[in-house]
Structure 1
Amino acid sequence: MKLTAIRLKYLLIAMVFVITACSKSYAGGFPVRPGSLLLSPSVNYFFANKGWDSLRRQTPFANGGRFQSISYSLYSEYGISKRFTAVAMLPFVNNSYKDNTGYASETAGFTDLEVGLRYYVANIDYIYYFTVQGTFITPMYSSNVNLGYGQQGAEIKAAFAGSGKVFGKNYYFTLENGVRQYFGNSGPLQDRYTVTGGLTLDRRFKQQLSASLGGFYSTSSLSSGYDPTRVAANKNFAFNQVSVSYGYSFNRKMAMFVTAGTFINGRNTGNGTSGSASIIIKPF
């Protein structure tokens, strides 16, 4: 069954999350030691059946439409020296959209590979850290535009992180902001920002609880209208989301995190909820 313009409109709104979901922000403000490797496989789930339009009006998807995405990613970071680390992330997504008319669509595949270099600019008493990261983005697909913009890009990101004690508990925080530019015809300019704060729950530093507030703003010379021939053509959108995470450290080499989140406002984007689980492994 051919996708009508109205179905494409709501699918485009929901697809905004998929385009950006695999850009998950890791606590990159803290250093990885030289010669050490950090690996983090994760799985993420997102569901939406309503969204905001270009005027920030919230409505259900047409004909009871339902969008869901399951994505998998592998993040890695290797300590080159005291100042530099190499980072990379490879995501794979499976997206589906259904409505009450019987229409169903599914797309699966690798999206954009991200490879970068992180520089630790300075620290204050080895408690507070300032970092800058440059990242190159390249699509891992050639013909399926439902997986992304199909364009290469670059990002520069700054982060500030620190830790300390409050009310007898150990706390940490990270502040991150990244500006990304996709190249090519009407490549969007995007700004991503995240504020995270967390507390350790026990004296052995095995359990922690954290909360995050993050946002995303994307703009392009392309108008805010929809292109019915390209599901991932939406380049003008914005949203903010909140999330809560619980982490448990099995030992110094392995930890697990589970996260639940929801969008709180937006424009040209789906209003959905998400959940994720990730493992952090330090083999050496």
Structure 2
Amino acid sequence: MSFTKPGLKYLLVASVFFITMQRKSYGGAFPVRPGSWLLSPSVNYFFANKGWDSLRRLSPFANGGQFTSLSYSLYTEYGLSRRFTLVGQLPFVNNHYHDNTGYDNRTNGFTDMEIGIRYYAFNINYIYYFSVQGTFIQPLYTNNINLGYGEQGAEVKVSFGGSGHVLGRNYYFTIDNGVRQYFGSSGPLQDRYTGTVGLTLDRRFKQQISATIGGFYSTSSLSGGYDPAHIAANKNFAFNQVSLSYGYSFTRKISLFISAGKFINGRNTGDGSSVSASLILRPF
């Protein structure tokens, strides 16, 4: 089965998720101090010209179709106390799908805003950290399936991270798993998971590299089988991807991360590739 024009929504979900993964480059499991503010603007370019169907068979999009997405995201976290932080994310996307028949579709707008509270439950010798986060999801659009489900939702995410030394270098790792439910009559239940390992490259902690593997699983008991002609009715899909990142700290308050990622398998989704750049700012 080849993907057709209505497959835009799966590609949108995938491209926005890639932005979310970039925050793992600097370890979301580690606490932000009380009164400190972390701000991260990012930009992501996503491309796909083939995809997997419901049987995980990979094929080109029909009629030479191509999908690109240029996405922007603003992530923030503020330390309320030693254990609680306020987190938020605001994404904006520009999507473009075209094929050899002359079909040309462009969509842009804000997608789903996320606001949540993170609780740093405990640490082990200030080396390993465990946190729990609750997030509320609010769509910033109406009646546009190319921007998302158009339904409110909530997510609970657990994170575990740590750091240490290996081969004379400092390393860190983070593991995250979030379960999300949209509240509509056929709102999907989703599981998003990532694991990241990073390594410093110099003694002054200015440069680092990291590798991330993550995935996305979505299911809805009220959704029918895969039908590209009625994409809004199908909320069952899955994919896994890998990415590599390079980070450079200009000062203690300004860092830059550049990442590249590739989908490795999927179901009812596009086979996407991405590049991303994120600034990490700590104004105070």
What interval of TM-score do these two structures reach, taking the shorter chain for normalisation? over 0.9
Is the contact made by 1:149 and 1:233 (CA closer than 8 Å) also made in structure 2?
A: no
| Amino acid in the other structure paired with 1:242 | V
Say which SS state the counterpart of residue 251 (structure 1) adopts: coil
- Measured at CA, do residues 45 and 264 of structure 1 come closer, stay the same or move farther in structure 2, by a change above 3 Å? same
Q: How does 1:50-89 map to 2 (within 5 A)?
A: 50-89=50-89
TM-score (norm 2): 0.94
Indicate the RMSD between aligned Cα atoms, in angstroms: 1.6
- Measured at CA, do residues 232 and 251 of structure 1 come closer, stay the same or move farther in structure 2, by a change above 3 Å? farther
- Measured at CA, do residues 155 and 13 of structure 1 come closer, stay the same or move farther in structure 2, by a change above 3 Å? closer
Say which SS state the counterpart of residue 49 (structure 2) adopts: strand
| Displacement after TM superposition at 1:28 (Å) | 1.4
Counterpart pick for 2:11 among 14, 23, 32: 14
Q: How does 1:184-203 map to 2 (within 5 A)?
A: 184-203=184-203
Match of 1:223 in 2: 224
- Measured at CA, do residues 213 and 254 of structure 1 come closer, stay the same or move farther in structure 2, by a change above 3 Å? same
| Amino acid in the other structure paired with 2:225 | S
Q: Percent identity?
A: 67
Is the contact made by 1:227 and 1:233 (CA closer than 8 Å) also made in structure 2?
A: no
Match of 1:255 in 2: 255
* Counterpart check, 1:266 vs 2:266: yes
- Measured at CA, do residues 23 and 204 of structure 1 come closer, stay the same or move farther in structure 2, by a change above 3 Å? closer
Say which SS state the counterpart of residue 63 (structure 1) adopts: helix
| Displacement after TM superposition at 1:145 (Å) | 2.4
| Amino acid in the other structure paired with 2:17 | T
Is the contact made by 1:219 and 1:235 (CA closer than 8 Å) also made in structure 2?
A: yes
- Measured at CA, do residues 275 and 19 of structure 1 come closer, stay the same or move farther in structure 2, by a change above 3 Å? closer
| Displacement after TM superposition at 1:17 (Å) | 1.5
Query: Structure 1: which 5+ runs fail to align?
Result: none
TM-score (norm 1): 0.94
| Displacement after TM superposition at 1:35 (Å) | 0.2
- Measured at CA, do residues 212 and 138 of structure 1 come closer, stay the same or move farther in structure 2, by a change above 3 Å? same
- Measured at CA, do residues 186 and 205 of structure 1 come closer, stay the same or move farther in structure 2, by a change above 3 Å? same
4+ aligned runs moved over 2 Å, structure 1? 5-16, 18-27, 224-229, 231-234
| Displacement after TM superposition at 1:163 (Å) | 0.3
- Measured at CA, do residues 18 and 274 of structure 1 come closer, stay the same or move farther in structure 2, by a change above 3 Å? closer
- Measured at CA, do residues 159 and 207 of structure 1 come closer, stay the same or move farther in structure 2, by a change above 3 Å? same
Match of 1:131 in 2: 131
| Displacement after TM superposition at 1:270 (Å) | 0.3
Match of 1:173 in 2: 173
| Displacement after TM superposition at 1:22 (Å) | 4.7
* Counterpart check, 1:37 vs 2:41: no
| Amino acid in the other structure paired with 2:56 | R
- Measured at CA, do residues 220 and 269 of structure 1 come closer, stay the same or move farther in structure 2, by a change above 3 Å? same
Is the contact made by 1:12 and 1:233 (CA closer than 8 Å) also made in structure 2?
A: no
- Measured at CA, do residues 28 and 232 of structure 1 come closer, stay the same or move farther in structure 2, by a change above 3 Å? farther
Query: Structure 2: which 5+ runs fail to align?
Result: none
Give the whole-Å Cα distance in 2 for the aligned partners of 1:164 and 1:37: 25
- Measured at CA, do residues 275 and 232 of structure 1 come closer, stay the same or move farther in structure 2, by a change above 3 Å? farther
Give the whole-Å Cα distance in 2 for the aligned partners of 1:12 and 1:113: 17
